[in-house]
Amino acid sequence: MASDELFASGHRGCAGCGEAIAVRMVLQAAGPNTIIANVTGCLEVMTTAYPETAWKVPWIHTAFENAAAVASGIDVALKKLGKRSGINILAFGGDGGTFDIGFQALSGMLERGNNVTYIVFDNEAYMNTGIQRCSSTPFAASTTTSPAGKVSIGKKQKKKPIASIVAAHDIPYTATAAIANYRDLKRKVKKAVDVDGPSFVHIFSPCPTGWRYPSELTVELSRMAVETGVFVLWEVEGPDLNNIKVTYRPKERKPVEKYLKMQGRFRHLFKPERRTDILNKIQKDVDEKWKWLEGLNEMAR
């Protein structure tokens, strides 16, 4: 690791933590003139156990639901004090602190137009408290509060489409990114911090602990999510969802089953018996979402 890394090694993240990989890339793209407001979650716990810290940039954590509001306060304060120029203000949230409890503060910040880049590291459940379902958890995933059982196939609802909802706030820049596509990720973060006004990057961050897969497969899981179309890489520039651009197209989309089979949280779809009905439904949902995005993309051309 280069010595000028802004996210220091030696933090307490799990081996193969997708979020830690993503954070490192984000800071490489954002650079040293960056201030971070972080929500409560794995990231805060694993990087700041007093008196140690993994952050080489100014960093503040207050609570679970309000990084967007704290960052707004930093934005206006630095502006008033004449220190705003050349500084990137980033808000970091997990999916819990963004899709659920922090959604109001996020929406408020987007409407106000604070010059903050909000980045959500999405590992699709409340991992810090022990793998409970949240509104980011995908359909049929087994979590500790949506367990697969004799009469349950796991989470009953679909994942909340956070990035589309955010883009609908008519902000200057919204994007989705994945760690396997790291050049795309860093390019998008750079774009996000460079625009004037609120921007949002949704980063897909596999979690070996919560998804139950071997630690060394994190990047592979990220790649498979993109190659299957489970997670689509796109960006919207300017205040119009019609300007959506899919930034990466798999040559041929792989079947979603390949991605699901790699993870313990979907094991019940294959054993003790194969749940073809559920697998078909998941594939159909992915196909439909892809079609919708492609349609928007065509419209934009």
Partner 1 sequence: MGTKQVVKGNFATAVAAKLVKVDVVPAYPITPSTLFPEQISTYIANGEMDAELLLVESEHSAMSAAIGASASGARVATATASQGLKLMSEMLFIASGMRLPIVTAVGNRALSAPINIWCDHQDTIAERDSGWLQFYAENNQNALDLMIMAFKISEDHRVLLPSMVGLDAFVLTHTMEGVDVPLQEEVDKFLPPYKPVYTLDVKNPITFGSFGTPAYYTEFKYQQWEAMKNAEEVIDEVFSEFYSKFSRKYEKLSEYRTDDADIIFLTMGSMSGTARAAVDKLREKGIKVGAAKLTVFRPFPFDEIKALSKKAKVLAVVDRNISFGFGGAVFGEVAGALINEKENPILMDFILGLGGRDVTQDAFSAMTDKAEASIKKGKADKMVNWINLKGELRG
> How far is CA 40 from its chain centroid?
15
| Token pair listed for 209 | 């602990």
Q: How many other β-carbons are positioned within 10 Å of the β-carbon of residue 235?
A: 22
Q: Which residue, 190 or 281, has its beta carbon nearer to partner 1?
A: 190
Smallest separation (angstroms) from partner 1 to the CB of 23 = 14
Residue from 8, 63, 195, 241 touching partner 1 (CB under 8 A): that is 63
Place of tokens 């997708």: 18
Residue from 35, 179, 189, 193 touching partner 1 (CB under 8 A): that is 35
Our finding on whether 129 is near partner 1 (CB under 8 A) is no
Residues contacting residue 60 through CB under 8 Å, at least 6 positions apart:
35, 36, 37, 38, 70, 74
Cβ-contact 243, 252 below 8 angstroms: no
Smallest separation (angstroms) from partner 1 to the CB of 139 = 30
Dihedral, CA atoms, 108, 178, 300, 158, nearest 10 degrees? -70
Our finding on whether 195 is near partner 1 (CB under 8 A) is no
Residue from 8, 14, 56, 285 touching partner 1 (CB under 8 A): that is 56
Our finding on whether 143 is near partner 1 (CB under 8 A) is no
Smallest separation (angstroms) from partner 1 to the CB of 218 = 23
Q: Which residue, 81 or 151, has its beta carbon nearer to partner 1?
A: 81
Closest of 136, 86, 63, 75 to residue 110, by C-alpha: 75
Residue from 7, 24, 27, 44 touching partner 1 (CB under 8 A): that is 44
Our finding on whether 197 is near partner 1 (CB under 8 A) is no
Burial class from Cβ neighbours inside 10 Å (0-12, 13-18, 19+) for residue 30 reads: buried
Positive or negative CA dihedral for 154, 180, 175, 28? positive
User: Which residues form the interface with partner 1 (CB under 8 A)?
Assistant: 32-35, 37-38, 44-45, 48-51, 53, 55-63, 65-66, 68-81, 83, 87, 104-105, 107-108, 111-112
